[in-house]
């Protein structure tokens, strides 16, 4: 091999290694990303079945049902437009209440959201920014529709 061919072989090998490292980093980051959606976005088909996501909104009043085993609960999360049924097996946060903000992280199966983590707001003034924006958008649409003649 000539010196030029040797340099080219080392350069090609280096680029190949750099490409493989970049590929593995991107794959690792993609697997660890969790996107936030509102119930309306989930129902409209923006979330595929089996996709790991977060949903947020208000716990629909009257929807909380505790099962006999003491750790399984069913409730609905709403953005004041659409309500999604949620199943969760575990201990709910102390601040979890009907009518209050919550975020559930888990999988959507097309019918029910199965959460493996539920987060509740930490005081009466806090709501995740994405959930607050979704509620504000829905309230603005409702107000506009009510004002039209």
Instruction: Give the model confidence (pLDDT) of 61-113 as tens digits.
Output: 999 999 998 889 999 999 888 899 999 999 888 888 888 889 999 998 888 99
Query: Cα angle at 99 between 35 and 55, to 5 degrees?
Result: 10
Q: What are phi and psi of 82, to 5 degrees?
A: -130, 140
On whether the CB atoms of residues 115 and 93 are closer than 8 A, the answer is no
What does the pLDDT look like over 46-59, one tens digit per residue? 888 888 888 988 99
**Top-level class of domain 34-147:** mainly beta
Q: What is the mean pLDDT of the chain?
A: 84
For residue 145, the SS3 value is helix
Q: 81 by DSSP, 3-state: which?
A: coil
Q: Whole-angstrom Cα distance, residue 43 to residue 126? A: 25
Q: How confident is the model at residue 143 (pLDDT cuts 50, 70, 90)?
A: low
Any residues with CB less than 8 A from the CB of 77 and at least 6 apart, and which? 39, 55, 56, 57, 58, 59, 60, 83, 84, 86, 102, 104, 113
In this prediction the pTM is 0.64
Q: For the residues 122-130, what does the mean pLDDT come to?
A: 64
Please report, for residues 29, 39, 40, 110, 136, the alpha-carbon distance to residue 79 in angstroms, rounded to integers and kept in the order given.
Answer: 29, 6, 7, 18, 9
Mean pLDDT across the stretch 33-44? Answer: 85
- CA dist 47 and 105 (Å) reads 13
């Amino acid at each position: 091999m000539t010196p030029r061919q040797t340099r080219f072989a080392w350069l090609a090998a280096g680029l190949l290694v750099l490409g493989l490292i970049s590929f593995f980093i991107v794959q690792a980051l993609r697997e660890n990303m969790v996107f936030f959606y509102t119930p309306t976005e989930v129902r409209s088909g923006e979330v595929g079945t089996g996709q790991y996501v977060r949903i947020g909104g208000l716990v629909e009043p009257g929807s909380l049902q505790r099962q006999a085993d003491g750790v399984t609960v069913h409730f609905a999360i709403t953005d004041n437009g659409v309500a999604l049924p949620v199943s969760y097996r575990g201990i709910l946060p102390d601040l979890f209440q009907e009518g209050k903000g919550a975020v559930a992280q888990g999988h959507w199966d097309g019918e029910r959201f199965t959460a493996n983590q539920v987060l509740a707001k930490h005081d009466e003034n806090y709501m995740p920014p994405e959930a607050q924006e979704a509620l504000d958008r829905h309230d603005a649409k409702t107000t506009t529709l009510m004002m039209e003649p």
